[in-house]
Amino acid sequence: MMTTKAVVYTINQTNIELIATSLFSLIKSYEGEDKLTVFLLVDDIFEKDITILRSFSKIMKKEQIEISIWQMPQELNQLTSLNANGGLTRYNVAKFFLPNYFANFDKIIYLAAETLVLGDISEYFRDFTEESAVGVVKQARDGDDSFSTASMIFSTKVYNQKYPVDKLIAAINNSPATVTEHEFSNQLFKEDSQCLAAKYNTAAVSDTEKQTCVVRNFVDSEERTKPWNHLALMNKWDRAFWTYFTEMKGLVFQAHTSSKSL
């Protein structure tokens, strides 16, 4: 039976180790028997790295997870207001075209490179009702009712009806040069988003706070507190990241050993 659920990452050579760590954590935490497709949208990646990433689920004996490599959506070539130095960039707007790109899937989860999956991603799919175009986690702190798109879920049917490609392209191209991706996405989806539990995009929480976390988002953390920017293990999130990172690196060595082509 064809899977109707997918997880998508956008990847380039500069974020590949973070993507690999997040992907490893996703596979390790997946407990479902249902088939799950993971799409890696690549841009200028070493072929050997692609081969290694595709081998993850097989080596980890989670063959119900299919890892598929795709190029970035061609619609990105129609965008004229992208800013490589910030604001709307090729990588942070690619996710807006995922429901059209993978229209055969019912639900699509987008995860940024700076995330860890600490619980079974199946829960995320189950808790999204598909009545709204997107499912997001509101920050809801200090009067801030906005949301981060480091982790979000799409209903492809509803999304494609409300946000056709030509409308998205026009919205991006007509945006001010100074607009941030955060501002753009919150404006775009403010009337049509389902508010999900914080565990699907956990950020800036206390190390001792007792709550379930499925997706840990480091994107919105202060730069110096991100695990890869300091040596000390300051909290459970640092420990989780470096545990997964170390295990991922071991898997990479295993992939090299098991394949003469590498």
**CA distances from residue 55 to 51, 122, 204, 241, 254 in whole angstroms, order as listed:** 6, 21, 33, 21, 10
Instruction: Using alpha carbons, select from 236, 220, 3 the residue that is nearest to residue 112.
Output: 220
In this structure, which amino acid lies at residue 73? P
CATH number of the domain at 73, please: 3.90.550.10
pLDDT for 123: 96
Axis-axis angle for helices 236-258, 47-59 (nearest 10): 100
* pLDDT tens-digit readout, 185-203: 999 998 889 999 999 999 8
Token pair for 106: 């019912």
- Residue 238 pLDDT > 80, yes or no? yes
Instruction: Using alpha carbons, select from 123, 153, 155 the residue that is nearest to residue 31.
Output: 123
pLDDT for 181: 92
Q: Which domain holds residue 94?
A: 5-259
pLDDT for 214: 96
* pLDDT tens-digit readout, 149-187: 999 999 999 999 999 999 999 999 999 888 999 999 999
- Residue 261 pLDDT > 60, yes or no? no
How many separate domains does the chain show? 1
User: What percentage of the chain exceeds 90 in pLDDT?
Assistant: 72
Instruction: Using alpha carbons, select from 147, 154, 116 the residue that is nearest to residue 132.
Output: 154
Least confident of 5-9, 20-24, 77-81, 245-249: 77-81
Q: What is the mean pLDDT of residues 45-71?
A: 95
Q: What is the mean pLDDT of residues 205-226?
A: 79
* pLDDT tens-digit readout, 111-155: 999 999 999 999 999 999 989 999 999 876 555 678 999 999 999
Q: What number of helices (H) and strands (E) belong to the chain?
A: 9, 9
User: What percentage of the chain exceeds 70 in pLDDT?
Assistant: 91
Task: Give strand pairing partners of 12.
Answer: 43
